[in-house]
Amino acid sequence: MYKILVKQQLAPSVQLFEVEAPLIARKAKPGQFVILRVNEEGERIPLTIADFNREKGSITLIFQEVGASTTELGLLNEGEFLLDLVGPLGKPTHIEKFGTVVCVGGGIGIAPVYPIARGLKEAGNEVISIIGARSKDILIYEDEMAAVSDELIITTDDGSKGIKALVTQPLKELLDSDKTISLVMAIGPVIMMKFVAETTRPYGVPTVVSLNPIMVDGTGMCGGCRVSVGQENKFACVDGPEFDAHKVDFESLMTRQRMYKSQEKQHSEHLAGKKEGGCKCHSL
C-alpha cells in the first residue's frame, strides 16, 4: 500500500507528500511521473515525481490544490494511504554534461525541476536556476534549489522576493551575457513555458519543457495527452513528458487544458455539497 509518510504544507494550497512506494522509488529518474487515485470514485491524477529516496523506498509528490480531485488529495493525512499509485511513467530527462544549463521553474513547476537540476549538477554541469512565483508566500523549494544550483535567481510578480519580474527577464539577460548556455530546461504553467520558448528561440539555445496535458491511463492507451510537436502528434505519457520547446504547439495545448473547465466546477460543487453532509437543505 502507498502510505503517506510525511505531509507538509509548503505554501497556501501547496502540499508535499512523501509516499511509501519502494518499487517506484527503485526505478524513478528525474523527469518521470506517477498516476494516483485517492478513492474508488476518484480520477487518475498524474503528478511529476519531485524527489525519490531509494534507501527509504519513498517518493515525494508536490501538488497544488487547484481542482476538486487535488483538493480531495490534500485532505489525506500522514499515516493514511493512497488507493492507487503507478509508475514511474514517461521517459526520464536526458541528462549528460552539456556545460552551462539554465533550469527554470515557475510556481508548482519548481518541484519537478528540482530533481532535474540535481541530476544535471551531479553530471558536472554548471547549473543556473531561475525560480519564480506570484509572491514570496507561494514560492517553494528555494533552499532545495539553492543547494543544487551554482547560481539561483528568484523572481516574483509582486516583487515581494528577488527581482520583480517574470522568469523570462533574467533568462534573457543570461542569454545576452557572454556565458554560453548549452541548454534551458523549463517547467511551469504552459504560458510560462511558451514564453521561455519564445525567449530562447532567437538565440537557438536548445530548450526542453515538461508538459502536463490531460491524461487518463498514462501508458499510451488513450491518446488524450496528445500534443502537437513539430506538426506531429505525440503522446506526452509515453513519448514525453519532455519535448523540444521550440516545436511544441502551446496554443493547442492551452486550449486542450481548458476542455473540462465547466465540469471541474461541477465536480467541486458536488464535493463541497458532500462535505457539508450531502443534502442541500441548509442552503435553502
Among 96, 123, 266, 275, binds another protein (CB under 8 A): 266
> How far apart, in whole angstroms, are the C-alpha atoms of residue 85 and residue 97?
32
Choose one: 156-164, 175-183, 196-204, 221-229; the region binding another protein (CB under 8 A): 221-229
| Among residues 6, 8, 12, 27, the one that binds another protein under rule CB under 8 A | 27
CB atoms within 10 A of CB 87: 21
What is the β-pairing status of strands 181-187 and 207-210? parallel
Q: What's the rounded Cα separation, in Å, for the pair 145 and 153?
A: 10
CA dihedral 46, 49, 52, 56 (to 10 degrees): -20
Q: What are phi and psi of 74, to 5 degrees?
A: -65, -15
Q: Does 88 bind another protein (CB under 8 A)?
A: yes
- Determine which residue in the list 5, 65, 84, 247 makes contact with another protein, applying CB under 8 A: 84
Q: Figure out which of the listed residues 42, 57, 189, 206 binds another protein, where binding follows CB under 8 A.
A: 42
Q: Which residues contact 278 (CB under 8 A, 6 or more apart)?
A: none
Closer residue to another protein (CB): 42 or 189: 42
Contacts of 54 (CB under 8 A, 6+ apart): 25, 26
Q: Which stretch binds another protein (CB under 8 A): 56-64, 112-120, 128-136, 215-223?
A: 215-223
For another protein, which residue of 89, 110, 152, 196 counts as binding (CB under 8 A)?
Answer: 89
**Per rule CB under 8 A, is residue 49 in the interface with another protein?**
no
CA-based torsion, 14, 18, 21, 27: positive or negative:
positive
Tell whether residue 233 is a contact of another protein (CB under 8 A): yes
* Binding residues for another protein (CB under 8 A): 23-24, 27, 37, 41-44, 68-69, 72, 83-89, 216-217, 219-224, 226-228, 233, 238, 249, 252, 255-256, 258-260, 263-264, 266-267, 269-271
